[in-house]
Structure 1
Amino acid sequence: MKEAFRILKDTGSMYVFSGWNNLKDILKALDDVGFITVNHIIWKYQFGVVTKRKFVTSHYHCIYVCKNDKQRKFYPFSRFKKDSKTKEGRSLHYRDKEDVWEIKREYWTGDEKTPTKLPAELIEKLLDYSSDKKDIVFDPFLGSGQVAVVSKSLNRQYLGFEIVPEYYKFAKKRLDKNLYRIKSE
């Protein structure tokens, strides 16, 4: 967290994903280095693991933080115009910015896969609201390369680190193929 704080621009922001079991440690680490918490988003996915002795966990926490709350970028109408409405007449941009997001998990098909994959829809939403074309998106735990692949498709520059050689090769292969295309409106 200290290094992320050091390299983050005053206009930048960061999203940290966590399950509930590590959340208190992550929140403390973010506070200890000086991050300002902007939002606590819940990503609700379609199903979790069924258990006999506790409730089913079917969500992740996403902590949205920044260094400088007055200078951080946020584009409130990047996904919907201010007056855009649903068929029922409700505000689309308000609903899109609520702090509980129901987005389905994505699963790998075929033989090649990694255990790490955030849904492209989730990453696209975060990038739309928090960055502009040509901005740099940094993922310190690259995994499958999903953040880099979506960043590339949205015309963002991207950087990332991955220490597992197989994941790095997998991510590089995906980036070389550019396997994600933005949905047309």
Structure 2
Amino acid sequence: MQDVAANKIDLIVTDPPFAIDFKATKQNYNRTASRVMQGYNEIKQKDYYEFTARWMEQAFRILKESGSMYVFSGWNNLKDILNALDDTGFTTINHIIWKYQFGVVTSKKFVTSHYHCIYVCKNEKKRRFYPYTRFGKNEKTAEGRSLHYKDKEDVWNIKREYWTGDQKTPTKLPAEIIKKILEYSSKEGDVVCDPFLGSGQVAVVSKMMGRRYLGFEIVKRYHQFAKKRLDENIYRVKA
């Protein structure tokens, strides 16, 4: 990100490492381990705030005054994410909860079946948001309830996606989540950035929705995997 000029990015959507010694094995994610590409780069917990503050400083620099950022996080080191956002100068708009359909069952604590998504901006007075791109202001359900109100609540019940095919990276945001974020916080032609590209999901969905995209990935196998998906247009986003 240091090579990107300042004030060039319209929207950042990212799912950074969580510093939890993550291993996407068959045992905890019901996946055949041999099909999961290795190389996931984790951050030590003691270094997590410093690591987070470093990349957020660059994110703040390259984001336009009108731009926004969505950062996904587990609960374990959420405090470091929140502190780094404040210390970097971001303004928090919403704290979104993504509720998914399954979690890891343990015998001594409650099941964790959600992630946090922190929606922030660089300049609240210039921030862009498109409230009626998904549902009109007066659209109603069959029961007469507001569709756009329900869609904009800050708890999102969205299912994880199941990979198909032999190869897969350990983590991937559902296309439905990325599509929703892009519709509310960007328009066609905008530049969407993901500093932790992984499988390329943010870039792939951005491309399918007419956005320009930029992403970075330090694991060569993941980069090649993401590039193949983008080159082959193997993913289509439902309208």
List alignment gaps of at least 5 residues for structure 1. Answer: none
Matches of 2:214 and 2:91, distance apart in 1:
23
2:49 alignment counterpart:
none
The one-letter code of the counterpart of 2:227 is K
Kindly indicate whether residue 169 of structure 2 is the aligned counterpart of residue 114 of structure 1.
yes
Moved over 3 A (4+): none
Q: Is the 8 Å Cα contact of residues 188 and 209 (structure 2) preserved in structure 1? A: yes
What is the TM-score of this pair, normalised by structure 1? Answer: 0.98
2:85 alignment counterpart:
30
- Aligned length, in residue pairs: 184
1:88 CA displacement: 1.0
What is the TM-score of this pair, normalised by structure 2? Answer: 0.76
1:69 alignment counterpart:
124
Q: C-alpha root-mean-square deviation of aligned residues, in Å?
A: 0.7
Listed as ranges, the matches of 1:56-135 within 5 Å are: 56-135=111-190
Matches of 2:143 and 2:231, distance apart in 1:
42
Matches of 2:173 and 2:108, distance apart in 1:
27
1:180 CA displacement: 2.4
Q: 1:140 aligns with which of 195, 198, 201?
A: 195
1:107 CA displacement: 1.7
2:8 alignment counterpart:
none
Matches of 1:87 and 1:170, distance apart in 2:
43
Q: Find the residue that maps to 1:158 and give its secondary structure.
A: strand
In 2 relative to 1, CA 182–109 (structure 1 residues): closer, same or farther, beyond 3 Å?
Answer: closer
The one-letter code of the counterpart of 2:58 is E
Matches of 1:16 and 1:112, distance apart in 2:
26
Q: Find the residue that maps to 2:65 and give its secondary structure.
A: coil
Matches of 1:117 and 1:145, distance apart in 2:
8
2:70 alignment counterpart:
15
Deviations 1:52-109 (A, max 9, x none): 0111000000000001011011000010111111111110000000000000000212
List alignment gaps of at least 5 residues for structure 2. Answer: 1-55
Q: Is the 8 Å Cα contact of residues 139 and 148 (structure 2) preserved in structure 1? A: yes
